[in-house]
Homo-oligomer: A and B are copies of this chain.
Amino acid sequence: MKLNTETEQKIISSAEKLFLQRGKAGTSMQEIADDAGINRTLLNYYFRSKDKLFEAVYRKALSSFIPDLASLLRSDISFSDYLSAMIETVIDGMIDNPQVPIFILQELSSNPERVPQIIREMGIDPLKLIGKLKAVKTTDTDVGEDTAPGTGEDTATDTGEVPGMDTGEVPGMVKVTDPRQVIMNILSLCIFPFAARSIVTEILYNGDTDAYLEAMKQRKVLLPALVKQFMT
């Protein structure tokens, strides 16, 4: 039973760098070996195949990124301080590893058939989650009509729209109380600016990487306030 040798670490490190940057198909074993400064056949000695090596990298990226999000999803969404701490953790993680979000999104998108299994491994039970979501902050949301087939879950269209609840400011204004929409909004606001890093930096910050980074740090305080605002 082999444990972490120095060589194995170099391999993982190089594989990580290249796979995240150019994807699985876009990276050859030779390139990884060259980057790690070793012979190509050693890759097959430590990891049986390219598939296995990629899988190791993928799992590592997932486990560095998802647990924080998972705990956010698992929580009873008794927000306040918890929300701020979670957002800060997630954003800090992406600041350290900017390539991870887009890598994971791309991988999940290319292999949707693997998503259910990955969710299970993450320790999220969708049924429980949706149950919890229903019980949270839905003072005026209609979650009625369970017309979903099969699972008996509420998969139907909770509109989240409350026609009688206009704030009076804008005609047709709706109050966002569907917890799933709220979760989507939080994830969107946290992750997207990192997934779109290059174009955001170029368009909004004129290519100034430092200014972009500063803006991302700001979001650690901006986002919790924003979320609380549209949750209430």
- Within 8 Å by CB of A105, from B102, B148, B203, B221, lies B102
Number of copies: 2
Tell me whether A144 is interfacial, beta carbon within 8 Å.
no
What interface size band does chain A fall in?
Answer: 35 or more
Residues of B within 8 A of A95 (CB): none
**Is A199 in contact with B169, judged by CB distance below 8 angstroms?**
no
Tell me whether A34 is interfacial, beta carbon within 8 Å.
no
With contacts A188-B188, A188-B193, A229-B229 known, is A102 near B106, CB below 8 A? yes
Tell me whether A24 is interfacial, beta carbon within 8 Å.
yes
In the bound complex, what is the Cα–Cα distance between A225 and B112 (angstroms)? 32
**Is A197 in contact with B109, judged by CB distance below 8 angstroms?**
yes
Chain A residues 182 to 232 lying within 8 A of chain B, measured CB to CB, are 183-185, 187-189, 191-193, 195-200, 202-208, 210-211, 214-215, 218-219, 221-222, 225-226, 228-230, 232
Tell me whether A180 is interfacial, beta carbon within 8 Å.
yes
With contacts A109-B197, A196-B105 known, is A208 near B160, CB below 8 A? no
**Is B222 in contact with A226, judged by CB distance below 8 angstroms?**
no
- Interface-central residue, A127, A181, A192, A200, by most chain B CB under 10 Å: A192
- Interface, chain A (partner B; CB < 8 A): 21-26, 73, 99, 102, 105-106, 108-110, 112, 115-116, 119, 124, 126-127, 129-130, 133, 148, 151, 153, 155-157, 159-161, 167, 169-170, 172-176, 178, 180-181, 183-185, 187-189, 191-193, 195-200, 202-208, 210-211, 214-215, 218-219, 221-222, 225-226, 228-230, 232
